[in-house]
Amino acid sequence: MNQSSATASGTLYVVATPIGNLNDITLRALEVLNQCDLVACEDTRHSMRLFQAHGITTKTVALHQHNEAKQSHKLIERLINGDDVALVSDAGTPLISDPGFPLLGLAHENNIKVVPIPGPSALIALLSVAAINTQPFVFHGFVPPKSKQRVAEFVSWLETTATHVYYESSHRIVASIEALIEVFGETAEVAMGRELTKTFEQIFTGTAIELLQLVESNNNHQKGEFVLAVLNKKPAVSDEIGSQPAALIAQLMPLLPPKTVAKVVADHYGLNKKQVYNFILRQATT
């Protein structure tokens, strides 16, 4: 078993940085970034804005998805030789949908001390103000960019009663909300954070159809970085197969086996799984 413990090697600090407002950085993060020997940045040019704002002069090196396999080994060598290295992403907490996984894995394999420096996180920022149930919540990162795969991803969430949180880009936000409505329905409880902590920050809570109407009402509402949450709750048990379960069955049948469809629909709508499965079988024979 590998454990992060003090050794003769240096320390790898995983440092959370602001998601927008440059003042959202902890005193401890500033201390670490100033005192370490090297900072590994997702984009050194992006991080330089933060460094200049707070007078940080530590040397930087790029560590991103295109070079992290090779660069991680170089950083491990420096850590083994006694250098302290800080890892930062463009915004928020590293490794939450950001590069760094290979480096952390190698650090633990080499018994290098790894220290988290906690701070901003977009998904936590949204959940803290959304007034949506967070016990439990599931974070999915970025969902698939293509329509069919995105719908299939959302369908898979129906099996888990929780608030599902994900990141989305500006050029897919409308299609993403439309897919949410297709799977969870127009009245699904949702929350959205756009450009959190920045000048044009926007926070929304309400139904999925209300969110779609808001985003489509103004092109400016489609710009920036998005965090979305949708509540998948199990309604009261019903004895009937209504129009909504039947519609969901029709959507899922081309994607999943009948037994899986029966389980998903039964769990989502509080129905008896055998009753739903028999309904599917009847539909197949008519």
CB-CB contact of 285 with 279 (8 Å): no
Residue 14 has which token pair? 């995983």
pLDDT digits (tens, 9 = 90+) for 218-257: 999 999 999 999 999 865 444 468 888 988 998 998 899 9
pLDDT band at residue 1 using 50, 70 and 90 as cut-offs: very low
Distance of alpha carbon 275 from alpha carbon 120, whole angstroms: 47
Report whether CATH 3.40.50.2300 matches the domain 11-120. no
Cβ-based neighbour number of residue 129 at 10 Å? 12
Could you tell me which of 234, 255, 261 has the C-alpha nearest to residue 278? 261
pLDDT digits (tens, 9 = 90+) for 85-94: 999 999 999 9
Distance of alpha carbon 48 from alpha carbon 1, whole angstroms: 37
pLDDT digits (tens, 9 = 90+) for 184-199: 999 999 999 999 999 9
Token pair 């999915």 is found at 140
Q: Which residues neighbour 152 within 8 Å (Cβ) at sequence distance 6 or greater?
A: 144, 255
pLDDT digits (tens, 9 = 90+) for 99-158: 999 999 999 999 999 999 999 999 999 999 999 999 999 999 999 999 999 999 999 999
Could you tell me which of 15, 14, 36, 37 has the C-alpha nearest to residue 26? 15
pLDDT band at residue 273 using 50, 70 and 90 as cut-offs: confident
- pLDDT for 2: 47
Per-residue pLDDT at 31 exceeds 50: yes
- pLDDT for 6: 46
Beta strands 11-15; 38-41: pairing state: unpaired
- pLDDT for 275: 84
pLDDT band at residue 3 using 50, 70 and 90 as cut-offs: low
Report whether CATH 3.40.630.10 matches the domain 123-232. no
